[in-house]
Amino acid sequence: MAEGRSLTSREAVEQVLASQHADVLREAVALVVREIMEAEVAQLAGAELGERAAQRAAKRVSGAPLGHPCW
């Protein structure tokens, strides 16, 4: 039976990372972070990735390596 002590969030994360579900947790967090970053960039640029907009605030170059001619 439980001793009445609840886990801290850090302890809970450490238990999950030590278990077989660590990869799922890592992938879920990475997905959420990518989506948040994409939404922030779209808001700052004034257009979604691949979208053309006359009022666009910036040009988005995605996936081009450094030194690419379009830089």
Q: What is the pLDDT of residues 21-56, one digit of tens each?
A: 788 888 888 999 999 998 888 888 777 777 776 665
Q: Which pair of tokens denotes residue 34?
A: 């990518």
Q: What is the pLDDT of residue 16?
A: 80
Q: What is the pLDDT of residue 57?
A: 55
Higher pLDDT, 31 or 70: 31
Alpha-carbon distance 20 to 3, whole Å?
25
Torsion over CA: 17, 19, 20, 25 (sign): negative
Q: What is the pLDDT of residue 56?
A: 58
Q: What is the pLDDT of residue 33?
A: 94
Q: Is the pLDDT of residue 1 over 50?
A: no
Please, are residues 35 and 20 in contact by the beta-carbon 8 Å criterion?
Answer: no
Q: What is the pLDDT of residue 47?
A: 75
Q: 52: closest CA among 60, 44, 63?
A: 60
